[in-house]
Structure 1
Amino acid sequence: MISGSTGAARAADGPGDPSKAPAPVPAQAAGPTDDDLMASATNTSSVLTYGMGPRAQRFSPLTTINADNVAKMVPAFASSLGGEKQRGQESQPIVYDGVIYVTGSYSRLFAFDARSGEKLWEYDARLPDGIMPCCDVVNRGAAIYGDKIIFGTLDAHLVALNRKTGKVIWNKTLADYSAGYSFTAAPMIVKGKVIYGNSGGEFGIIGKVEARDVNTGELVWSRPTVEGNMGMLNGKESTMTGKLNASWPGDMYKNGGGATWLGGTYDPDTNSLFFGTGNPGPWNSNLRPGDNLYTSSVLAIDPDTGEIKWHYQYTPHDGWDFDGVNEFIPFDATINGKPMKLGAQANRNGFFFVLDRTNGKFISATPFVSKITWATGYDKKGRPMFDPNNRPGPPTGEKGNTVFSAPSFLGGKNWMPMAFSQQTGMFYVPSNEWGMDIWNEPITYKKGAAYLGAGFTIKPLYEDHIGVLRAIDPTTGKIKWEYKNKAPLWGGVLTTAGNLVFTGTPEGYLKAFDAKTGKELWKFNTGSGVVGSPVTWEQDGEQYVAVMSGWGGAVPLWGGEVAKAVKEISQGGSLWVFKLPRQ
């Protein structure tokens, strides 16, 4: 790595004989506009946004590769990220103007030629020694706009690079990494603003959603996600989030967690951003009586001002680290004969939620995993019906009572994004079957230290499988089909109008399934665990599918007995691209 306080970009080839200098780079398009990003769900020649559209449904209308011919799909090329920086590769590729952009572990960004796989340039953030990533050194993707490609770093910076050269355009410090702040999500761009959330909820930070001018990087607004903290708009204090001490005791809101570490979705119909919020801090819920707004929730936010339009709290007074950051995906459907604008989320706590996205009204919550112990369900008002015997009690001495809870804190579904098919009307949810022994411990806040106040041991529920890919009808909550996998599922899902569903496995496979029946139609082993999110596009008259390969993430770090079961999986770092063979 070339040293430097802002990182360095490197061309694929170093200096050499001038007579062998590469040919001039062909003129490239000016770059995606706001209108392009809003229309990206139907743009089959590019992948312009995280989630393949502002609503992040991860659905492609392409049909060239379909359930009848996917078995013939072969690799087009594989491109290595190189070096010793392996670990989890959770990125989703961005594809534009003949270039594939992917982020890598340790806050790197790469540009590859979309036809040959040749590396065009690489940017390495120069990370300080004191970074404190909670759950591996991952990065989930970048955002593209005009001449810029933008991503966040583990030392809580947001960096805009020239998409043609990799040179820095602007670099902004978002927060103090020494307090536990970091950045792992893919940012999104709405109305000329880069909108993002922060990471670091396990360190007693304050969750925020923020917007910056895409051209300058200057802060436009900031919205804390923990009640009692003050927002900002155009350089001045705006409004307080919630009401001081309404659901938090004393000063605990000052270290309340609620990190928005997965990023958001956007619904043009209602002009609303939807951001999920993380767990409250500390995990020991006995120290913070109350609902602890707005943690473990979904917030609808005005992208122009940062004001909260409505909220829904999935897990009030969360005592199991269930978070609420999983993607909230807007979709339209008919419920009881009434066409509705809805949103869905598969929560860490094991329930699949459907809400009215215009006002946050609760529609339904149905289990999507086989075992849930912390609650028996949700009442008509959308409040969970807790099992009081399943909440870890206050510590007496070094620890409190141990309870067995399912799902585990790694969730019925964790960060890995689900997909919604406009063809079948179903959501495809990567889920896991595991529980945990959990107990509370004494804890006080200390800057830069883990702020848990709990101990745990994760255990698989079944001997033959942990991961389960499930197809769910959101109008009924019924599971239409499921595919069981021995290791946990930790990668995103893609669905297409070709009646296909793609997802990866830790065993190294990218797999394709029949979207209607769940039948496995194709698989290919990439050599390392697949924990990235696949995408598809067309170029030169052919359809391509791409995914990152590289085992890592939270499972091998936090997985307890589960981690032992996957310890032989090799790490890696490569981009794999597939297509049908030429006729």
Structure 2
Amino acid sequence: MSLEEDRAVQAAKDTVVRETDQGFRVLGSPDKSVTHQHDVDRIEEFDVTNEMIQESGDNPEAWLTYGGNYEQHRRTTADVITPDNVADLEVEYILDVGAGSSMEGTPLIVPGDPPIMYQSNGPNHVKAIDAREGDILWSYTYAVPSDVVLCCDDNNRGVAAYGDKVFMTTLDSGVVALDRYTGEEVWHTSTADHEEGYSATWAPIAYDGMIFTGSAGGEYGVRGFHKALDAETGDELWHTWTSPETEWVGDSINQSCATNWMNATVDVEQRRLYLPIGNPGPDFDGSVRPGPNRNSCGTLALDMDTGERLWTHQEVAHDVWDYDSAAPRVLIRDMEIEHRNTTKDVVVSAGKTAWLYTMDTETGELIERSEPGVQQLNMYRMIPHIDEGRRMPFMPGAMGGNDWQPPAYNPETGLMYTKMNNSPQEAWWRFEEYEEGKKYWGGILEDETEAVPDEYNGKISAIVAINPETGERVWRDWIESDAYIWGGMVTTETGVVFTGTQNGDFIAYDGESGDRLWEYDLGEASIAGSPMSWYDPETEKQYVAIQVGGSGWLRRGAGGRDTRLAVFSLSE
């Protein structure tokens, strides 16, 4: 059956995303969610267990959670591809998914015969794919309400697999559970009122019968939270506000934002979650929220069973630069920290500030702040009022440094790999009245500016390797382009690092030296997806997959939309 006959694909194609002065609007979505089945009998029926997901980081045949393992290392133990032979990598297939709005996701692989890929993209469209043959087995499109307003495109960055279900966040701030074998909807839970400005775009995380999900809408004056749902029923188990009332002045807590708009990192040994936390609200007018606005722009640790707050580490106090700290945290066990003569479990944050922060998992104490990955110019200078007529371009701009794009960590090299933006922006603050469901920035952000700092090197982004123990920046590859860089990384046990650029190039790096070992031109479309990799014992090949296509924030450049999933392979 062709994609033209796939009702779920057609429903996603009919859904139109328009940018307005209030953000992105989703129009033309189906009245009811649509599932279309092709060849579901190929999907082996067995439960995806906690143990399988915990072991997937060491199982070359699996990629069972967004970050490859609960620690979010984005590393595969598949070892066919090496620095010596990666130049022989070839296209296995390029699949037109048929509905390609935002393409920022990471597919999952459930091992089996055949291995099944679960791939998602905007607008809330997900597929089950025979990963060996590239055949679509079922498709699903969620019915997004027409009054949803989104700051930054109709993104969907992935799904969770657990038990006999697949879970996806929905743009109207919900989670939907699908039958993993048929694509049919089992339950849907709303986590917040989208009419207030809430939304959801990340891949949820599943563990021990719970689905962990956060909050987005930090440009609409919402209040950030994280919560746990029952995986079988969708019932709420606990709800925790990211910012407690005692840390904010007056009623500013009501529009405090500090949303948790990328997924949690699971510490199965301590039964903890480490959450990335975004900007306070409103973004640029700090006068209505005096004080440090604690628990925004940093890391929050929660007890996974109760939601109890354990500790926080703030990277930017009283943020007025939109310095979200959004990327998933990386948990590293038993790191030997020579300069402190100790060995600790640490959690690492790559923030918009362009620094990596290495923290003690027990207390949140900062152990090391790295060298910057990109330029820091006019950083932390207070932005002017709109009426003052002053200009103050600052770097990193509101795109980062490292924004949401997930870094990768390789225990063999001891390095973290991340993509960072290096572009000046300007912002002005002004007083704005809060209105529910309306944009509440408290100012203006210029995406482009002619007033650049004298020291600016003109390179819009970089791919960077940093040692989280010492903070040393080991290597950096500057990228020249007219567009921002987006998307994440993957690394292999053998020391290869894969990522895509805004120029449409898919690149393999030597993880030790930063040398480019292989490149493939995927055309003009920006690559905003995050790659992953697996091994298939039947074909004796290692595969690497990447979604091709940009996001609405990638306005600078002609990349635009795309509808492709590119899969590369190398035989033993």
1:425 matched residue in structure 2: 414
Contact residue 103 and residue 141 of structure 1 kept, 8 A: yes
**Which of 533, 536, 539 pairs up with 2:533?**
536
2:18 matched residue in structure 1: none
Q: Cα 1:553–1:343, aligned 2, differ >3 Å: closer, same or farther?
A: farther
1:35 matched residue in structure 2: 51
Alignment of 1:575 onto 2:549: no
Contact residue 279 and residue 296 of structure 1 kept, 8 A: yes
1:551 matched residue in structure 2: 550
What residue identity is the alignment partner of 2:473? I
**Which of 349, 352, 355 pairs up with 2:356?**
352
Provide the TM-score with structure 1 as the length reference.
0.87
1:92 matched residue in structure 2: 106
What residue identity is the alignment partner of 1:44? P
1:310 matched residue in structure 2: 311
1:454 matched residue in structure 2: 443
Q: Cα 1:572–1:43, aligned 2, differ >3 Å: closer, same or farther?
A: same
- In the alignment, the residues of structure 2 paired with residue 135 and residue 296 of structure 1 have an alpha-carbon distance, to the nearest angstrom, of 18
- In the alignment, the residues of structure 2 paired with residue 476 and residue 400 of structure 1 have an alpha-carbon distance, to the nearest angstrom, of 42
2:475 matched residue in structure 1: 481
Deviations for 1:323-360, whole angstroms, at most 9, x for unmatched residues? 12222211132222311211111111222211111110
- In the alignment, the residues of structure 2 paired with residue 578 and residue 4 of structure 1 have an alpha-carbon distance, to the nearest angstrom, of 34
2:343 matched residue in structure 1: 339
- In the alignment, the residues of structure 2 paired with residue 443 and residue 52 of structure 1 have an alpha-carbon distance, to the nearest angstrom, of 42
- In the alignment, the residues of structure 1 paired with residue 384 and residue 433 of structure 2 have an alpha-carbon distance, to the nearest angstrom, of 17
What residue identity is the alignment partner of 2:566? W
What residue identity is the alignment partner of 1:521? L
Deviations for 1:203-237, whole angstroms, at most 9, x for unmatched residues? 01111111001011100001111222xxxxxxxxx
- In the alignment, the residues of structure 2 paired with residue 11 and residue 276 of structure 1 have an alpha-carbon distance, to the nearest angstrom, of 36
1:45 matched residue in structure 2: 61
**Which of 395, 401, 412 pairs up with 2:401?**
412
- In the alignment, the residues of structure 2 paired with residue 321 and residue 196 of structure 1 have an alpha-carbon distance, to the nearest angstrom, of 22
- In the alignment, the residues of structure 1 paired with residue 200 and residue 206 of structure 2 have an alpha-carbon distance, to the nearest angstrom, of 16
1:25 is paired with a residue of what secondary structure? helix
Query: Once the 2 structures are TM-superposed, how far is the Cα of residue 4 of structure 1 from its aligned partner?
Result: 6.0
**Which of 186, 202, 212 pairs up with 1:195?**
212
What residue identity is the alignment partner of 2:263? G
Contact residue 378 and residue 393 of structure 2 kept, 8 A: no
Contact residue 418 and residue 428 of structure 1 kept, 8 A: yes
Alignment of 1:263 onto 2:263: yes
Which deviates the most, 568-577 or 515-524?
Answer: 568-577
**Which of 446, 463, 475 pairs up with 1:469?**
463
Listed as ranges, the matches of 1:94-133 within 5 Å are 94-96=108-110, 97=112, 98-133=115-150
Q: Cα 1:280–1:106, aligned 2, differ >3 Å: closer, same or farther?
A: same
2:503 matched residue in structure 1: 507
Query: Once the 2 structures are TM-superposed, how far is the Cα of residue 479 of structure 1 from its aligned partner?
Result: 1.1
Contact residue 374 and residue 420 of structure 2 kept, 8 A: no
State the Cα RMSD in Å: 1.9
1:240 matched residue in structure 2: none
Structure 1's unaligned 5+ residue stretches are 13-21, 229-242, 376-386, 557-562
Structure 2's unaligned 5+ residue stretches are 1-9, 12-28
- In the alignment, the residues of structure 1 paired with residue 389 and residue 320 of structure 2 have an alpha-carbon distance, to the nearest angstrom, of 13
1:235 matched residue in structure 2: none
Query: Once the 2 structures are TM-superposed, how far is the Cα of residue 363 of structure 1 from its aligned partner?
Result: 1.2
Contact residue 298 and residue 325 of structure 1 kept, 8 A: no
2:370 is paired with a residue of what secondary structure? strand
Contact residue 471 and residue 480 of structure 1 kept, 8 A: yes
What residue identity is the alignment partner of 1:542? K
1:38 is paired with a residue of what secondary structure? helix
Contact residue 324 and residue 403 of structure 2 kept, 8 A: no
2:87 is paired with a residue of what secondary structure? helix
2:20 matched residue in structure 1: none
Contact residue 399 and residue 442 of structure 1 kept, 8 A: no
Listed as ranges, the matches of 1:213-362 within 5 Å are 213-228=230-245, 243=246, 247-283=247-283, 284-331=285-332, 332-335=334-337, 336=339, 337-362=341-366
Contact residue 508 and residue 526 of structure 1 kept, 8 A: yes
- In the alignment, the residues of structure 1 paired with residue 545 and residue 172 of structure 2 have an alpha-carbon distance, to the nearest angstrom, of 28
What residue identity is the alignment partner of 1:554? W
Contact residue 325 and residue 403 of structure 2 kept, 8 A: no
Contact residue 467 and residue 484 of structure 1 kept, 8 A: yes
- In the alignment, the residues of structure 2 paired with residue 134 and residue 253 of structure 1 have an alpha-carbon distance, to the nearest angstrom, of 21
Using the aligned pairs only, state the percent identity: 30
What residue identity is the alignment partner of 1:445? Y
1:178 matched residue in structure 2: 195
Query: Once the 2 structures are TM-superposed, how far is the Cα of residue 394 of structure 1 from its aligned partner?
Result: 5.0
Query: Once the 2 structures are TM-superposed, how far is the Cα of residue 111 of structure 1 from its aligned partner?
Result: 1.2
Contact residue 47 and residue 535 of structure 1 kept, 8 A: yes
2:253 is paired with a residue of what secondary structure? helix
Contact residue 143 and residue 186 of structure 1 kept, 8 A: yes
Contact residue 527 and residue 550 of structure 2 kept, 8 A: yes
Query: Once the 2 structures are TM-superposed, how far is the Cα of residue 202 of structure 1 from its aligned partner?
Result: 0.4
Contact residue 508 and residue 529 of structure 1 kept, 8 A: yes
Q: Cα 1:352–1:26, aligned 2, differ >3 Å: closer, same or farther?
A: closer
What residue identity is the alignment partner of 2:35? A
Contact residue 325 and residue 350 of structure 2 kept, 8 A: no
Instruction: Figure out how many residues of one structure are paired with residues of the other and give that number.
Output: 529
- In the alignment, the residues of structure 2 paired with residue 509 and residue 216 of structure 1 have an alpha-carbon distance, to the nearest angstrom, of 42
- In the alignment, the residues of structure 1 paired with residue 74 and residue 310 of structure 2 have an alpha-carbon distance, to the nearest angstrom, of 25
**Which of 60, 79, 91 pairs up with 1:63?**
79
Query: Once the 2 structures are TM-superposed, how far is the Cα of residue 44 of structure 1 from its aligned partner?
Result: 1.3
What residue identity is the alignment partner of 1:578? F
